[in-house]
Structure 1
Amino acid sequence: MTVIGGDTAAVPFGVGTFASRSAVTAGNSIADAAQEVRDKLVQAAAALLEAAPADVEIEEGRVFVRGAPTSAVPLARVIQASIPTFAKPGVATPDFEASAYHHVPTVTYASAVHVAQVEVDIGTGHVRLLKYVVAHDCGKVINPLIVEGQVHGGVAQGVGGALFEEMVYDEQGQLLTGSLMDYLIPTAVELPPIETVHLECPSPRNPLGAKGLGEGGAISPPAAIANAIEDALQPFDVRITSTPVSPARLLALIEARRAIGAAGEEG
């Protein structure tokens, strides 16, 4: 199989890979095309083995009649028998290829629950992530390694939004955080161990049962981390309503609550 990416001239129609639809559209298109090729192989094998197509099985690169494993022949033999020669035609048309475009009638979003454990230094406002757990459902897990990487990468992106990344402009609208000297992003040092729990509930909207995965890791971290910080600072009754929760911003919130508390005691 050859995968060509980024060439819109290679496909008859497409609207993009956004909205967590790459595996859903591309994966099911591959599955549809593979099924068409399999059906053609079964027809050719049935002619070669002199059996009904419904009785033909394909397994581990071999074709055989159900209940008669000794009849097995390699797939290469089926294709070879389909190629016409000067002596006779092939057992079937040697057309073992297919094109498919899988239309997805609606979105297939993933769902996830995120739990963050944090440590807050009330003297500096620094927040340290101790542990992070994601329980998510992306439907059928096709490739566990890619799913883990997608979730972990999404969490890293979300941590950036929660604690570091901010577009800052001056009064004239000039961007002040236009380089990595000013625009902070998390590194491996800031990221905690990430535990992933896979909950597979296949989608009924496509043959593979896959759901989108891109948003499952990236959207929830700011809310989970903000709630964890609020819980850690419960004695101060701090409420976080904006991100990133920088040390300076967090110290200001703590001091504001202290001032309110002090004013209440004096009153």
Structure 2
Amino acid sequence: MRTLESLSGTGRGRLITIWAVVVVVLLLIAVVVNACTGPDDKAPVPSGTVAGGSPTPESDGVVPDLPPNNPEFSERAPLRLPRGEREAEGVQVGFPQSQAGAVAAAIEYGTAITSTLDLDRAPAVLRAVSDGSYGSDGASLRAAPEFWRQQLGLPTTGPVPAGASLSFVVSAYQVKDRESDRVTVLTLGYVTGTTATRAPQSFLVLFPVLLVWAGDWKLQKRPDDAPDYADLRLAPDTPAAAAAGWREYTR
């Protein structure tokens, strides 16, 4: 079930908050909150790159993240993300059991699943990187690309229309509920969709995902009553985002 509530007011732009209560919609979570801004809203355009800088030292095990409003936040270098040791369905897997490994997994998995309008691609990736908690129902696993097709005014069935594409660029992350074998990672960034007949549209999104350790980081379905962290959905690369605890990363 999805409901779309318009919160548009005065000015040239329109702000839409989307509450999606479906399996794997927008990065495999039960509830996803995102802000949708159309091409006339002057929303920041994703650069396609992540922050550069020196690596942040990382040790084995999940390490503490900086709390919000900590002045040290802006002085720390972006987190250096490790690469996966192997691939599954064209996606890196085999990340280390560390905070950097969990963040890298969340970004890798989320980017792969959200950067496609192919109704078969997203389910294949989900099966490869999850612990099975999302089930095997094909209709549910296709919810994410179907949702984005709907947002772009495309048919929700059939092959990807010519000239249509989708990309997700993660700008920042946060870590919540840290334990050695499970962690919640929030990612903040922009999904950009294009079609053959419409100008590119950018969507500011916040995705919380639960990862569990099972020899590798695996996505696990979050409880229906898990927090959506909507108050943290802020434009990245701004003082407000930094003060709220969003951190940059580098490869």
Q: TM-score range by the shorter chain?
A: under 0.3
**Larger Rg computed on CA atoms:** 1
TM-score, with normalisation over the residues of structure 2? 0.24
Q: Return the structure number with greater helix share.
A: 1
Whose strand fraction is larger, Structure 1's or Structure 2's? 2
